[in-house]
Amino acid sequence: MTPEFKKALRHAPISAWIGFIIIGLYIFVAIFAPVLAPYTEREVAGAQYLPWAAPHYLGTDALGRDVLSRLIYGARNTVGIAVLTTFLAFGFGAMTGLLAATVGGRFDQLASRVVDILMAIPPLIFALLVLTITGTTVWALICVIALLDSTRVFRLSRAVAQNILVMDYIEVARLRGESLWWLIRREVLPNSTAPLIAEFGLRFCFVFLFISALSFLGLGIQPPAADWGSMVRESAKLITFADFSSFDGATFGLAPLLPAAAIAMLTIGVNLVVDWVLHNASGLKE
């Protein structure tokens, strides 16, 4: 950590600290899932739909697998894939957008038209089509979502770079004979940090939710691997048959809300941290 970041961290608002705590908790759970989970994610540990009681503190699912253990392992699977996908999408989209804006000409036109074509297709339909053809492997899922989300990052980074490239200091750098990569690395990229940081947080949330949506439809992370989206799908029918007049009956209706709440809490935590980082990076004052 730089001294400036440590100073900003000491003066961070309570909302940012709540976000850090939430994200830190998820990271801890994802890393130490084998230690924290009482059972493995695939182990049939009891009968189907057992109530919330020891040793299954959140009950079991339709196959008798421990729900608490699958929630814990879901943090590793869902969040890990979302982080990797976001880094790929953001790295490819941001660098291509900055390069297109700086180079201009035919390369800019070609890249922009390809992005327009991809963005014209509804993302969910495009992902369903490609994953149906290629198969629902983890790497196919990562590549498809990274490609779709990189188009959004491309549009933002290109627009931000175009506003920067008309500044006087860019003209001075070009007159000095600076190279293309020097302009991108030393002038354009540092001055586009604030919107790109905000976009990174948003992209992670959208990727995270998109993976969960695909898993809910059966084309995301495949069973028997634990995933929060597929856990919502598997237990959604319990809401209809839950008996809310008793505690044991009500727990069946709450079962689909557990993975949904895990998804929502991480999304909130990331947005709280991104808001604080954006506030500092943009130079805004209270």
What is the model's pLDDT at position 8? 66
Phi and psi of 8, rounded to 5°?
A: -65, -35
Average pLDDT value for residue range 183-200: 82
What is the model's pLDDT at position 247? 67
Decide if 167 is inside a domain: yes
Strand partners, 56: 53
Query: Which has more confidence, 204 or 5?
Result: 204
One-letter amino acid for residue 21 of the chain: I
Decide if 214 is inside a domain: yes
183 closest CA partner among 256, 99, 264: 99
CA distance 147 to 258: 30
Decide if 283 is inside a domain: no
Q: Does 252 score more than 80 pLDDT?
A: no
Residue 170's pLDDT band (boundaries 50, 70, 90)? Answer: confident
> How open is the CA angle 51-57-61, to the nearest 5 degrees?
55
Decide if 281 is inside a domain: no
- CATH value at residue 53: 1.10.3720.10
Q: Does 148 score more than 80 pLDDT?
A: yes
Where does 165-225 have alpha helices with state H?
A: 168-175, 180-183, 189-191, 193-217
Q: Does 284 score more than 60 pLDDT?
A: no
Where does 32-104 have alpha helices with state H?
A: 33-36, 67-74, 80-103
158 closest CA partner among 212, 114, 201, 112: 112
Per the listing, tokens 């709280």 go with 272
Rounded to a whole number of angstroms, the CA Rg of the chain reads 23
Decide if 60 is inside a domain: yes
SS3 126: helix
CA distance 72 to 226: 9
Percent of the chain with pLDDT over 70: 92
What is the model's pLDDT at position 202? 79
Q: Which domain holds residue 85?
A: 13-273
pTM (predicted TM-score) = 0.79
What is the model's pLDDT at position 243? 66
Q: Which two tokens stand for residue 247?
A: 């505690």
Residue 2's pLDDT band (boundaries 50, 70, 90)? Answer: low
Decide if 26 is inside a domain: yes
Highest mean pLDDT among 115-119, 165-169, 243-247: 115-119
CA distance 259 to 242: 17
Give how many domains the chain has, as a whole number.
1
Residue 244's pLDDT band (boundaries 50, 70, 90)? Answer: low
CA distance 149 to 139: 15
**pLDDT per residue as tens digits for the range 38-82:** 998 888 888 888 878 888 888 888 888 888 999 999 888 888 888
Decide if 278 is inside a domain: no
Q: Which two tokens stand for residue 218?
A: 């059966």
